Structure 1
Amino acid sequence: MKYYVALSLLVFNFFLTFSQSDDQPSVWSYEAIKVSETEFDIVISGDIYDGWHIYSQFTDENGSMPSELTFEKEGEDYTLQGKASESKTYREYSDIFEVEETFFKNKAVFTQRIELLKPDLKQIEVNLFYQICKEVCIPKEEVFYISLTGEAAVVVDKNVDDRSKELSAALILDLKNKDLLASGGADSVDVKTSLWTIFGLGFLGGLIALLTPCVFPMIPLTVSFFTKQSGTKSKGIINALLYGFFIVLIYLLLSLPFHLFDSVDSQILNTIATNVWLNVGFFVIFIFFAFSFFGYYELTLPSSWANKMDSASSKVGGGIGIFFMAVTLAIVSFSCTGPILGGLLGSTALADGDVATNLTAGMLGFGVALALPFALFALFPAWLNSLPKSGGWMTTVKVALGFFELALAFKFLSNADLVANWGIFKREIFIGIWVVLFVLLTLYLFGIFRFPHDGPKQKMSLGRKISAALSAAFAVYLILGLVKVTDLKLLSGFPPPAFYSVMETESDCPLGIDCFKDFEEGLAYAKKANKPILLDFTGWACVNCRKMEENVWSESDIYPILKEEYVLISLYIDDRKELPEAEQFDFKYESGRVKTIKTIGEKWGTFQTLNFNAASQPYYVVLSPDLEVLNAAVQYTDKDTYREWLKKGISSFRKLTHLKE
């Protein structure tokens, strides 16, 4: 467990260092209401998106962080009359902090009365620090410049020069018909990885863990213990079911730390997928896991932990004793389950949605699969006779898992290479590495070579022969993709894109379509060619972006539309290549926060958020050359929906052109 906790802390340290979000789940307004010649009520109001909440100033100090108002130059220009009052709040008990917390839903209003010390004071500056939460909590800071005279307040620029202001202004588009972007319906699709899919991945991981030598032999021993030591059959069944429940609970609790870090960003998944050093870190960790499965060392927890848990289960007895037995199983089996849990963490990092929720769903699936046989065999003990005997086949399972861990490791290294533009792991090299891995797995399964912990060589079983054949078939499939006999659509999103190649390619755009990677250049060409714009917010490490390009864009009735009817502008949000020094600048948000734009990805990420209030990829928008929005925005979707969406954009453009003529 200590290795898993260390991994969790390592991941969160990266999260806390690199996470940033410009998504705004709340919108703020403010006003100064004159009460007398020297008194004003400062009213700050926030509209909160459905499902989100903001903590009160008066929430229990032992719980989540309260909101905090700071009035600049208070005591110098004016004084505060008491504490700021609040609009309606709600109270709810927190199981995490074990206190009642006070928070706002839908609307938050702070009202603070001030008394002027300087009668000619024209405006004041107020800072609001708060947490806004929905499964994860995002710390926010807003800066308000509030006029006391009715005239426009003067925003105080903080280290933002004229050049930065000019470059910042250039990011903001004068979009027409902008409301159409989020019109909903069939035109606006946001498909995220289903929690059931994540649960299924966890369940599959748990089933695989059952077949390992750390877990499989425990099934008959544990079930026999409950059925023989419980006195009656019914009590034995109840104890075994309780044992299974505690197994599920333990693995579910392992995801809890991912919900407790209040400063985790709402866009953390994108950070995981695109941060160079975090991906390199995952690569190293998965290599470490793989070689433990190969038998070169074991990931074992201190034996004293297992001994203490086992001793506690004997002394305490009852339900608590059974809980300690479940903890003992988790500790003893860690050398086999730890790397699989690491793989589960990696899978949730590559999926869409909230990482903490995804991980909880995955852990739940893992725990259910691991606990299921203990419950089923307790209910039907005769089934124990049908279980295969423990033996060398379990070692084979571990080695096969080691090769899969290696394959996943190189996916993370490929992500780092793509985002950082190293140009090392191009498509052919990545596929070549996978070919080598699955050829080696095939040779191992056929008994050509062995690992340190393999037992005596035995006659190949039918299952091993089938597994070897499947591995060989997959290696052949990869080789056919390497020589471009097939397009590897089954692996869409995992290998680097086709244009990221060691071969000289005519285009560095998807499928060889002419594209622009700078918005202004693409816009100028669209005006010249009088064609609509397909604005493609994408990412080098975006799996769903590759799936759209390779499975949807490549369709025979979609590809010609993209190539001939639209001007494609692809903006890579995770591109870590630095902008020329003359193009780097400081961008100041309305809140007063200043963000330095140094990389291409930072520029286009800010551009996407400012103009389209979105931060996910893929994200597609169709515009006219005059910046008229032609259709609702669309995200990851199916080919039929995307085809009709493209056609509707063209139809809207033609109608618009006809009206102007």
Structure 2
Amino acid sequence: MKSIFYVVLLFLATAFHGLADEVFKWSFEKEGNKLKASVQIPPHHYLYSDQTIIIVNSGEVKLKPQVTPDSIKYDDEFSGETMIFSSGKAEWVFSIAELNPPYQIKLEYAGCRATTEEHVGICFMPQEKAYIFDGESARLIVAETNDVAATPLLEMLKGFNVQNSASGYLGVSDFMKFLNSEDQDFFDGKSMLAIIILIILGGLGLNLTPCILPMIPINLAIIGADTGNRRQGMFRGLFYGIGIALAYGALGLLSVLAGARFGTLNSNPWFNFAVGVVFVLLALAMFEVIHIDFSRFSTKVSTDKMKVGSFLLPLFMGAVAALLAGACVAPVVIAVLLLSVNLYAAGNWGGLLLPFLLGAGMALPWPFAGAGLAILPKPGQWMVRVKQFFGVLILGAGLWFGWQGWSLLPLESSGSSNSTEETVKLEKALLESKRIGKPVLIDFWATWCKNCLAMERVVFADSQVKDELSRYIVVKFQAEDLRDPQTKQILDYFEAGGLPHLVILKP
């Protein structure tokens, strides 16, 4: 009988899940150097004292209540003897001396309604809520779901004008132009032939981004390993380039047609783990611990015994290289995507080919690199040592991607509130901007974004840049997980094509 009672109780708790929010009314107020959080508990209702937790943060400072309400012993009809906050007003007082708003308030509470002549007793589902309190009013932080409603931050942003924005790596000179709101349009006023040439050259330059440049020795090892002649080396490089062009073009196509953001894949821990495993297997092949041979699955394509299978590995690794390059968003990439979107929207389907043209530019040097490797001296003991050296490099890359995947896992130690903390930081900067009239510079970045780290190391460390940034309130918004609903909503608001993404706001 008792078990049936608890089943019914669980059903009722589920049915009345939303009522706890309506029954227990919370309010917040600031009096001098004190912040008061209070809840109004209706007659015949109560909150469990051990399940009522209030946490107040100001920036990274976590506050403890100086005053807490008194709890009483109660013979609960549901759980036996326990401690509760009974009907009436329960108040917690925090000292906020020398701490500026906004304050982040997190609530956890669970309560019940006692059985009376009019009503059956019921326990409500435990609640978890978070508020932003600016000293005058409190705003509920919307729960992170796949269908995120408009957040208070977006309402605040409507009070600011976007003075300038840019995605991708900017050198010191380009960054200074960006701060001075100079036009960064690559293709404005240029003919289609000039645009095509610029896109191909821009794709060629992508090989020098921090995502691909360290991979060049590994790429050469994949193309040049066991190359028999110049023709075979050129074909390996060609297939490697085809893999790059197809995969990078597909990334661009997804961005144009589906609104996918460059770098989303690179922020996925399992993608990094998969790349790490591939690289470890390649390293083992370089050490001749295992043998990777696709040729037995293919047919001959010419009389000199070249087989399709011998080119599958370069084709696959070219695609991997293009996916890794997605984490390094250059300004030319954003410009190409915007041009592609505009042409497609105007009914010109040829615009969808522009991302593939960018990938073709990126692929351009690799057939020549493959042919060049073929003219090296004949294989011998020196080639064994070279392969072992490349094996060490590839193994190191595999371990690095494994570590990167591990760091991106949503571990409990990192918590799930990172996007909330970043949002609070941005809200605080916006309030400060309104107060003193300074513009805000937002730098959206992530640890997996190599261009972001390169800008932090080179550009933001430049003395000239530091002097110029003194005119701004600078916010480093860590957009680690691009799939996070809160992060995605903010990036969508600013139409960010990838990271790094820079925005200047004026109040």
Q: TM-score, normalised by structure 1?
A: 0.38
**Higher relative contact order (CA closer than 8 Å, sequence separation 6+):** 2
